[in-house]
Amino acid sequence: MPNDKPVPGRTYRVVQWAAGRMGTKAIRAVVDHPDLELVGLYVHSEEKKGKDAGVLAGIAPLGIPAVRDVEDVVSLEPDCVLYMQEGFELDDVTRLLSSGINIITTRNEFFYGPAMDPAIRERVEDACARGGASIHATGSSPGFSTTTMPLTLVHAMRRLDELTIDEYADIPASVGPEMITQVMGFGTPVGQDEMDPRLLRGTTVGFEQSLTALADAIGLPLEGFDVRGEFARATEPVTLSDGSVIEKGTMAAQRITVAGLRDGRPFLTFRSHWFCTQHLDKDWNIGGEGWLFTAKGDAPMRARVSFGRTDEEYSQHLAGYTAHPAVNSVPNVVEAEPGIRTVFDLRPVLPHLGTTGPTGL
């Protein structure tokens, strides 16, 4: 059931954990939020230690030096930590929670207790109980795409037969050429059409957890998952921004499917399409960036959500889709009952969009 409402007039003290692309976007959002106060910043690199949080976020100095010790964060006594690092340190997570500090995270591993790794869940729930704190995972995908928007679609239904969520991401639009070719592997020859399923676990865990939470929330629990990954090859050369080329016949797109099963067939399915071109040897019906939601039932719907543009650099603009749900959730999570909380446990998150003033971007 929903828990206590945000307290009108209360200012919530927030520490940002990590200052990468998501973290700096979150800093700017917290600074502009009328109900939040940024009181600290935790960073990983020695290079960023001691630097001002505002300077790292590309805005005016805030008088908040970055720290690298979890005890420095605990000493600030924040209401909430926005935990947005790459990977996670369970000791840090449990230290914060056991100290009574709530956590909102964009990490995939903490979406839904019953679907979490049992050992992680046990430690997290114990820390929440000891500190009287809660932890909530959110973001764009998983998050908005797998919980918030699907719940909106089924609002008009009394029977859901199947829901399919297709995500489309134009990789060169938001990622640099070196990341595309050297880290993500686009442009490499592939001799098979499917990925090794063992390599997908880290990518799919959040989708499995959030789809399980959705299924349980609507009273139609899943029986398991069918997870698979596929490659598609370019049918003509693709030139990236630095002049490097993804050659014809090399890998130019990936599709990862996470199908939640019920009665032995797909019931809640998420499919991500990461592409460097739409000229592919597979017909994946790629029609631009965003999400396509297809709900079948007694009130069938098909809804496309496309990414718009702002005056920010595009990768920074995209970061808001993940960082802003976390920032908007702070009052609800701080006031929630202790434990691992999903969006279905909280009162509806109503973003307070009043602003204290521009951050000077």
What DSSP letter does each residue of 59-91 carry, written as one string? SS--S-B-B--HHHHHHT--SEEEE--SS--HH
**CA 44, CA 84: separation in Å to the nearest integer?**
11
The residue ranking higher by pLDDT, 17 or 200, is 17
Q: If DSSP codes are grouped into helix, strand and coil, which group holds residue 306? A: strand
Residue ranges of domains in the chain? 12-138+329-341, 144-309
pLDDT range class, residue 147, cuts 50, 70, 90: very high
Q: Which residues pair with 163 in a beta bridge?
A: 268, 295
Element (H, E) at 158: none
Which strands, in side-by-side order, build the sheet including 339-341? 36-42, 12-17, 80-83, 102-105, 134-137, 339-341
pTM score, whole prediction: 0.93
pLDDT at 356: 56
pLDDT at 1: 47
pLDDT (average), residues 280-288 = 89
pLDDT range class, residue 330, cuts 50, 70, 90: very high
Structure tokens at 315: 């990768």
CATH class of 12-138+329-341: alpha beta
276 backbone φψ class: left, alpha, beta (φ>0; ψ -120 to 50): alpha
Is residue 355 pLDDT above 80, yes or no? no
Average pLDDT, the chain: 93
pLDDT at 359: 57
pLDDT tens digits for range 78-105: 999 999 999 899 999 999 999 999 999 9
pLDDT (average), residues 121-133 = 98
What letter represents residue 58's amino acid? Answer: G
Using CB atoms within 10 A of its CB, is residue 196 exposed (0-12), middle (13-18) or buried (19+)?
Answer: exposed
